Structure 1
Amino acid sequence: MRPETTIPVVRRIPTNRDDAFAFAIEGHLSSADIENIYGLLEAAYEQHDKIDLLVRLDGYQGFDWNAAFKDSTFAMQSRSLKHIRRYAIVGAPAWISLSASLMKPFLSIEMKTYSAEEEAEAWKWIEAEEVKE
């Protein structure tokens, strides 16, 4: 369990569009973190039929494999496929980039991976900008 003083693993990144969502993921994703992300996305789907999504992986250290294979996680992933138009993953480890490439032909969403240095291209691809707070 993480100490109370640590930065949250999932942080929402404000964007200039109501239907563009972005998250920074830092560290190791627990089951609760995964449910938090899907909960935020479910709220977005209530407002918008289709959204664009950017996920920035800063210091990503993996995820709870048990959470990835829970029935509730599969259901949330399934619902997400109906609502995501474009999905950009920035700073992904090689295995995530490879997995995304292998899954693309089977998904109805457009998905691209970018290196951390290519983040500006990812924002341009989803046609959104980060709003600095």
Structure 2
Amino acid sequence: MLNTATITEFDTALPKTYGFRITGKVTRDDMASMAERMLAAFDAHDKVDMLLVFETTETSETGASLSMDAMKAQFESLSKVRNYVVANAPGQAGGIVETMGKIMPVEARAFDTEAAALEWLRAQPAPGA
């Protein structure tokens, strides 16, 4: 499981659902580590769900997603991520996620709480089912 200075992977208890807890400003190294983890998940499964739970009001540092692994993971996520869910996203990030979900082939949802996000994910059929 992934564990960086600001990103900790956690068990969602849902099949093929990868949960990450964000506790501070995400750096380029943090993002590259999460990308590496998700690229391995993409290799292992046809479809996955992702849940990001924010426990911070900070977002990522400028350029955090500009590593090769991060860019590759973002590209692959378009065909591999079924549901992209955020909880307690800082500022307007939740609205941005939902807006992007309207133009991308990924169901993107934002919830105020981790409990609400997990409840919605539990109501979805398992990825690849």
TM range (shorter): 0.7 to 0.9
Long gaps (5+) in structure 2: 124-129
| TM-score, with length taken from structure 1 | 0.80
Structure with greater helix percent: 1
**Closer, same or farther: CA 41–72 of 1 in aligned 2, 3 Å:** closer
The answer for the alignment partner of 1:115 in structure 2 is 112
Checking the alignment, whether the CA contact within 8 Å between 2:12 and 2:18 is kept in structure 1 is yes
The answer for the alignment partner of 2:28 in structure 1 is 31
Q: Map 1:61-100 to 2 at 5 A.
A: 61-70=58-67, 72-100=69-97
1:10 is the counterpart of 2:7: yes
Long gaps (5+) in structure 1: 1-6, 129-133
Checking the alignment, whether the CA contact within 8 Å between 1:27 and 1:61 is kept in structure 2 is yes
Larger radius of gyration: 1
The answer for the alignment partner of 1:106 in structure 2 is 103
| TM-score, with length taken from structure 2 | 0.82
Structure with greater strand percent: 1
Count matched residues.
120
1:58 is the counterpart of 2:51: no
RCO (CA 8 Å, sep 6+): is it higher in 1 or 2?
1
Q: CA RMSD in A?
A: 1.9
Name the % identity: 22
Q: Deviations along 1:9-46, whole A, 9 cap, x unmatched?
A: 11011132341110001111110000011111111112
